[in-house]
Structure 1
Amino acid sequence: MYLLQLKTIEADENSSATAWDAIRGCMDHACRAEDVLDKRQISFFDEMDRAAPRISKSGAFGVTDCHWAGTIVHHLESNEDCRTFIHSHPRESFLEYATNQGLYRYVEEKITSQKISCNATIKGRTLLYVATQTRDVRLIKSLIEHKADPNKAGTYGISAWQHLLQILASSYCQDPEKWYELVSLFLDHGANPEVVANSRPAFHIIEMAFGGWNFDQTKRTLEKMLARRKSLKKRRDWPKALLRQENAMSVQLQATRTENMKTDFWPLPAWATMNRADTGL
């Protein structure tokens, strides 16, 4: 019903709200169908994605030069209650919109079938960055399993891992169990424990966010972060150790060569002059 409404709605200046009501209805219907049937609704979402541009390109959404999913910004900006959510909505593609809405089955299908890199940036953000806003563990886990890098920074220099820490640092941590699961998932897949978010180290943010909720689990997480930090430091120091070893070997080799050149004829000026050019001594 909602998809038919979207296809038949009049494309005029009054159709924006009606179109978005139909889009939301399509999304709710498809999401419920996925959960109940445990079956991906790829064809349904693709058909909706093909139907929506008819309204968007008419100018009814207030903009004609971006993907229809981005026009929700213009639809919401007149609504005072929705202004805080405007900047979290995507503007570039249905894939990003689907990620924002937590459609993990659809996203997984598209990045697999179309061989899309999970580390590519869309409007300056990675898909994992967008997924972090949803707190959907299934979606985030799916992206990470497809080699999404928690430390990959977007155009503005902020990674999904830093964004997660920013959320924890800037607001009261409601539902700490789910946030903790996300933090553990990121750390298990290589999140850098040395990053800073909101001018605060990751260690401090994790301690403040979860210390009062579950001290033992928080302690284990901090210990895991500390162990990884030591591992990173050791890896950074490895080239220096190799250089020191190389220098020591070079000094030893030079001493050996010098010792080997000291024959019975070495004190003679002619012998020394003849061999100095070859040995560099």
Structure 2
Amino acid sequence: MGRLKQKLITEFADGNTKIITPKNCQSVEMYFNSEKMAKTIGKMAEKTPDVSETVNGILVKKGFTYQIMAPEDLHVFSQLSTGNITQRISIPFSGAFGVIKHRLEQIYESVESGTDEESGSPTLHVHELVTVKQESDRHISLQWSADPISDMVSDSVVALVLNISREVPKVIVEAEDLKSEEENRKKAEKVIYALLVSLFGDVKLGENGKLIVSVDGNVAELDKQSGDVESENEGLKERVRTAFRRIQSAVSPIPHPAS
């Protein structure tokens, strides 16, 4: 090894070369200069940055050289090119398009209404990042250019629309329940009136929705809401009250027993 060392020293006598012959199992520490320099080119080089100023651009490595350039200069100073990815998704939605706008305005500050130039369908622009379009009565579409912020906004819009879709059936069911309850109440009133007519004969509708029952010149007024009966004839009064209570219990739905 000594002869090899002398030979190498002779060969590289003019260079800045150090030749070390460590012993077996002896550690050797070598230091390398890790300083790297990058040059700005194109639009990035038009302005000299101030001290501690942050420079934003694309770092491109060519061999052992580094260059910082603007994204729009990438295709000029390299063989690379940039591109935009436009994403589009369709979501089933059969509710009113105005509901989506109302919900979006509660979350985002900038929600602008518009109209699609090709189809004439209504659109919503959320912070000029995501476009919500009503494609038909059964679905809507979302379109945006892929980037971290737009992706986050689009995810929140999708979650909002799906949440509205889950709420709409509940609203419809509640409305149907109210409608059916009103219909049942009207049917019950008709049945009560018909049964009272079959029992007492002369039954008419009086003021404030009260029923006027006339029997042999005696008159009784029946309040359908409270069941109160007013009459000078105590016998007729008790008969009408008892009949109404029994009819009402017969036409009213049987309560479901608590489990």
TM-score grouping bracket, smaller chain normalisation: under 0.3
Query: What is the TM-score normalised by the length of structure 2?
Result: 0.26
Higher helix share: 1
Query: What is the TM-score normalised by the length of structure 1?
Result: 0.24
Higher strand share: 2
Please tell me whether Structure 1 or Structure 2 has the larger radius of gyration of its CA atoms: 2
